């Protein structure tokens, strides 16, 4: 069965510092990969997605992610975070017509 692992439940970081949120997935076949962000009491907003092609994917709000097939990873990065990036981030995989979500990573940006 598909699974998604987000090893870090919380990532504290100071404003303007770089950040990486880790995501690993288990699949022996091609998958679609997604990162979503959830602000308090809101739904999920799509940050970026990997479907095929270039392994470096750029998304909204300055985020990017790199698909690494050999390591089955899809880590999310931002070179300089803002206070407004404080939120919950979910990695998800889709290859059977459903989204399987990781447990989420809480990014807390401090001034």
Partner 1 sequence: GAVVSQHPSWVICKSGTSVKIECRSLDFQATTMFWYRQFPKQSLMLMATSNEGSKATYEQGVEKDKFLINHASLTLSTLTVTSAHPEDSSFYICSARVPRLAGGETQYFGPGTRLLVL
Q: Which of 3, 7, 12, 46 binds partner 1 (CB under 8 A)?
A: 46
The sign of the dihedral angle between the CA atoms of 52, 20, 63, 93 is: positive
Question: Among residues 35, 36, 67, 89, which is the contact residue for partner 1, using CB under 8 A?
Answer: 36
CB of 13: closest distance to partner 1 in angstroms? 19
Q: Nearest to residue 14, comparing CAs of 111, 87, 89?
A: 111
Q: Tell whether residue 98 is a contact of partner 1 (CB under 8 A).
A: yes
Q: Which of residues 78-97 bind partner 1 (CB under 8 A)?
A: 90, 94, 97
Is 111 near partner 1 (CB under 8 A)?
no
Neighbour count for residue 104 (Cβ, 10 Å): 18
Classify residue 96 by its DSSP letter.
S
Q: Minimal distance in Å, beta carbon 16 to partner 1? A: 27
Contact 77, 65 (CB under 8 A): yes
Question: What stretch of H or E contains 77?
Answer: strand 73-78
Contacts to partner 1 by CB under 8 A: 32, 34, 36, 41-46, 49, 51, 90, 94, 97-99, 101-104
């Amino acid at each position: 069965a598909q699974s998604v692992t987000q090893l870090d439940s919380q990532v504290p970081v100071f404003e303007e510092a770089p950040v990486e949120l880790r995501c690993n997935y288990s699949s022996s076949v091609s998958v679609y990969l997604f990162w979503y962000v959830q602000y308090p009491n809101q739904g999920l907003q799509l940050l970026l997605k990997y479907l095929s092609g270039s392994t470096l994917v750029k998304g909204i709000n300055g985020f990017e992610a790199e698909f690494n097939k050999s390591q089955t990873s899809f880590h999310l990065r931002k070179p300089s975070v803002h206070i407004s990036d404080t939120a919950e981030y979910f990695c998800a995989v889709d290859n059977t017509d459903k989204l399987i979500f990781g447990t989420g990573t809480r990014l807390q940006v401090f001034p």
